[in-house]
A and B are shown apart, each in its own frame.
Chain A
Amino acid sequence: MRLLFAQDGPVIPDFGRGDECIRANGKFCLNWFLDEFWDRYWPRVVEHIQLTLIALAFGIVIAFVCALIAYRYTRLEVTFSNVMALFYTIPSIALFQILVPATGIGWLTVELALISYTLLILFRNTLTGLREVPDEAKEAAEGMGLPRRQTLTRVELPLALPAIVAGIRVATVTTISLATIAAYITPLGLGAPIFSAIQTGANTEFVAASLLAIALALIADVLIVLLQRALTPWARARRQAT
């Protein structure tokens, strides 16, 4: 919007500012993109990261608590799984709209939808990670006289960590992907330029915003792999030993 006010007059935003490539609607006008990056795209990138981090933070807490409950009370697993699978199958572009009457147009709606999509993967991976802790490790903890809580925090959770982080990894790229669709209801994140380009047909806008979203997802993916390595040094030692 700021860009519009800065213009001299035309109602139709003159993306070109005289740029040949933009006037010809070239596939990707690099010069224009570089000129516009900080004003036009960087704020969207920041929003996109914020949308993703908030959704992940809440999703991890909720899924983690549910997984611990289901680990303790096995019968509840099916209930949690089914409810989360139901959320998971709702098309995101529909869920954003369906939430609007209840929570309005804005961050709250977007985050509620994004959180709901993280739950199933995080829950399943956390629970699987906990279940796959070898019995010997648990027995050793018991034999050392560790109380139940310490068995959980000092033996079971560290051993479940690779599976938990693997879940966070999938949840992160999924959230980055779905956050682009949030712009269907409100211009937030990197989906905003994409949806505006669906109206205007501006090719550079399509390609620029999409490449940024893809770059964001790939960078996040690599960062989490590095995080996982840092968090589980023993896995590395074991790999080198074999």
Chain B
Amino acid sequence: MGASPEAGDVSDLLNFFADNVSLLVDRTIEHIVICAIAMAISIALALPAGVLLGHRHAGSFLAINVSNVLRALPSLALIAISLAFFGLSALNIQIALVALAVPPILTNAYTAVDQVDPDAVEAARGMGMSEPQVLRVVELPLSWPLIFAGIRTASVYVIATAPLAALVGGGGLGDIIVNQPTYGLDGVMAATIVTVALAFAVDGLLGVAQRRLTPTGLVVPKELHTIVPPAESDLPADRALA
């Protein structure tokens, strides 16, 4: 098989970092912008919908099935279809990333609010709170840990998938990753390392925010500390077709 010549050793990789600081920084910033736009759109679409449906304990069929269908859509297929219909544009990657980010945010928001302790909600109503107050003062604070877990999962998906943007001229770290002829395997590995570091860093930062927002006295379950929480198992798959 034999290692190809460009499969250099660690020093070549370090040299690439040293020689291309500004390239990597530029591409990283583009990457963050692509991901931030996708996350903003996804949160704006999925969070209010999930929270409202959860508050009303209605529409679980809708929330769960929308998530299941979106999750099944292959990212590259979405990019290709949007290429055929819209031509080269920033829409190509955004459609794929939003489809990826909406399911965890929507399911987690729905599940979180839906599963808030009914006694706490009853108590709030008994104290004379209006519905918006119940949502804002009781349900949302108790839901933040799980909602944030969904946002963390979504952002990891988005950061790891955003390199596909470069296939359709979208820039970002993928621009280095899909140009091995130009940057060599060292470039591909360097950009990959930056992408992975970015995913862990964002996940860590959101984890800090998650803990800040969690009311004191509420223990965040251990499984919500991880990068991909097993939220899927909370939702019996057979409800989807029920």
B-binding residues in A (CB < 8 A): 27-28, 81, 85-86, 88-95, 97-98, 100-104, 120-121, 124-125, 128-129, 132, 162-163, 165-167, 169-170, 173, 176-177, 180-181, 184, 190-191, 194, 197-198, 203-204, 206-207, 209-211, 213-214, 217-218, 220-222, 224-225, 228-229, 232, 235-236, 239
Contacts and interface: CB of A to CB of B under 8 A. Distances in A.
Contacts of A104: 1
Interface stretch (B40-48, B53-61, B73-81, B139-147): B73-81
B214 interface: no
B233 A166 contact: yes
Given A93-B177, A180-B74, A162 B233 contact: yes
B94 interface: no
B76 A125 contact: no
A181 B195 contact: no
B80 A207 contact: yes
Nearest to B191: A94
Given A101-B4, A162-B233, A235-B236, A214 B196 contact: no
B74 A166 contact: no
Given A163-B230, A190-B77, A209-B77, 7 more contacts: A88-B160, A91-B192, A93-B167, A98-B188, A100-B4, A101-B4, A217-B73
Contact of B68 (A132, A214, A221): A221
Contacts of A206: 80-81, 83-84
21 contacts: A88-B228, A89-B199, A91-B192, A93-B164, A94-B177, A101-B6, A104-B1, A121-B232, A124-B228, A125-B232, A167-B230, A170-B71, A177-B77, A180-B76, A181-B164, A198-B80, A206-B81, A207-B81, A207-B84, A213-B74, A221-B68
B84 A203 contact: yes
B223 interface: yes
Contacts of A228: 237-238
Interface of B: 1, 3-4, 6-7, 68-69, 71-78, 80-81, 83-85, 156, 159-164, 167-168, 173-174, 177-178, 180, 185, 188-189, 191-192, 195-196, 199-200, 223, 226-230, 232-233, 235-238, 240-242
B21 to A, nearest CB: 20
A167 B188 contact: no
Of B77, B185, B235, B240, the most chain A CB neighbours within 10 A belong to: B77
Contacts of B77: 177, 180, 190, 194, 209-211, 213-214
A170 B157 CA distance: 13
B178 A167 contact: no
Contacts of A214: 72-74, 77
B227 A88 contact: yes
Contact of B192 (A90, A204, A209): A90
A128 B229 CA distance: 10
B223 A235 contact: no
Contacts of A190: 77
Contacts of B185: 97-98, 101
Contacts of A166: 232-233, 235-237
A128 B223 contact: yes
Nearest to A170: B232
Given A89-B227, A97-B188, A191-B76, A173 B195 contact: no
Nearest to A184: B178
Contacts of A128: 223, 230, 233
Contacts of A225: 237-238, 240-241
B38 to A, nearest CB: 15
Contacts of B85: 27
Nearest to A229: B238
B228 A120 contact: yes
